[in-house]
Amino acid sequence: MIWLTSLESSEDQIRKMIVQMKGYGIEIRGHFWEDNLEKMAWIHAREELLKPDVSAWVILASPEKWGAPSIRYGLALLGIALQAKKGVAFPIGILFSGGAQQSPDTFPTPLKGVQILSSSDPAMPAKLVAMVHRPSQEIPLGYRLDVYGTPEIGQWFEIGPQNNVWPGAMLGIDEGEIQFHAVGPKGSLPTQSVLNYPMKGLRLSLGEREYAAWAVQNELDPQVSYFAKVAGFPSSILFGAYSSREEAEVYVVILK
């Protein structure tokens, strides 16, 4: 089954697509995108996307809608949540409804591996079938990344090591404000937390970007995560194992 996120309101186009894919024995379910970051509307599709019978995620977009930073940010967060549970190789496609094709090199990090499709391509249905049946593969990243959010609890990023141990963790943002942090078992926000040597207000530079970061020195393994509550909508986040050295290995995820 394909989960379809439509940035467009063209019901005729969606209905045609449903009929086309039904002929290939593939069901399409989905929703119309709500561009409202304040209400964290992106989270509404998370539960549906994570269902076991969903084999691919397809985003229907015009180039104009796709270029909106708020839309890209919400889709990037949904992509993070999806890949945290189903892996970064999970099939994602962007179906452009018109205009010039765009390069994934300019996309947010969670969407760089997407397959670009065109609604005017006669082979589009066959390409979707191939996407659904593409063999899954595990891609090691060295880190874990997830995101949670509701208007009540706010927006939280979860980070941690994938297969090794970190002597602590740090997370920085280039826009917005970190408001709270915690350490606990992976997979859900902790109800209580003890922090070892918590640090706030760190300044980090990477290229031309400046990041405000918080950190802790709690030891993290693949079952333990660092959580940070972030207000606002950063264009990118920087994170990794805590290090007291001036140079450290970090990961950067572009969100817009």
CATH number at residue 41: 3.40.50.2300
Whether 213 shows a pLDDT value over 90: the answer reads yes
Residues 16 and 114 in one domain: yes
Q: What's the confidence (pLDDT) of residue 99?
A: 61
Residues 95 and 172 in one domain: no
Q: Which of 97, 132, 167 is the last residue of a domain?
A: 132
Burial class (CB in 10 A: 0-12, 13-18, 19+), 124: middle
In a domain, 54, yes or no: yes
Quote the tokens at residue 9. Answer: 């309101």
Long-range pairs for 103-107: beta carbons < 8 A, 24 or more residues apart:
107/72
Check if the beta carbon of residue 132 is closer than 8 Å to that of residue 2.
yes
pLDDT digits (tens, 9 = 90+) for 67-100: 899 999 999 999 999 999 999 999 999 999 876 5
In a domain, 170, yes or no: yes
Per-residue confidence band for 18, with pLDDT thresholds at 50, 70 and 90:
very high
Q: What CATH number does residue 171 fall under? A: 2.60.40
What are 9's strand-pairing partners? none
Measure Cα distances from 205 to 30, 36, 108, 201, 210 in Å.
40, 30, 20, 13, 5
Angle CA 227–34–237, to nearest 5: 30
Q: Which of 85, 112, 132 is the last residue of a domain?
A: 132
pTM for this entry: 0.93
Whether 189 shows a pLDDT value over 90: the answer reads yes
Check if the beta carbon of residue 198 is closer than 8 Å to that of residue 160.
no
Among 131-135, 234-238, 240-244, 250-254, the least confident range: 131-135
At 12, which amino acid appears?
D
Residues 125 and 54 in one domain: yes
Residues 82 and 174 in one domain: no
Residues 14 and 78 in one domain: yes
Residues 101 and 44 in one domain: yes
Among 19-28, 46-55, 91-100, 150-159, the least confident range: 91-100
Higher pLDDT, residue 139 or 86: 86
Mean pLDDT value across residues 126-138? 86
Q: Which of 80, 106, 132 is the last residue of a domain?
A: 132
Whether 54 shows a pLDDT value over 70: the answer reads yes
56-61 and 28-32 strand pairing = unpaired
Alpha carbon distance 167, 179 (integer Å): 22
Q: What's the confidence (pLDDT) of residue 212?
A: 97
Residues 11 and 95 in one domain: yes
Residues 170 and 235 in one domain: yes
Our count of domains for the chain comes to 2
> In the sheet that 143-150 helps form, which strands lie side by side, from edge to edge?
143-150, 154-161, 224-231, 177-185
In a domain, 205, yes or no: yes
In a domain, 138, yes or no: no
Burial class (CB in 10 A: 0-12, 13-18, 19+), 64: exposed
In a domain, 45, yes or no: yes
Residues 88 and 159 in one domain: no
Residues 183 and 240 in one domain: yes
Alpha carbon distance 30, 1 (integer Å): 10
Higher pLDDT, residue 249 or 92: 92
At 109, which amino acid appears?
T
Residues 10 and 83 in one domain: yes
Share of the chain above pLDDT 90, in %: 74
Quote the tokens at residue 196. Answer: 């070892």
Q: Which domain holds residue 63?
A: 2-132
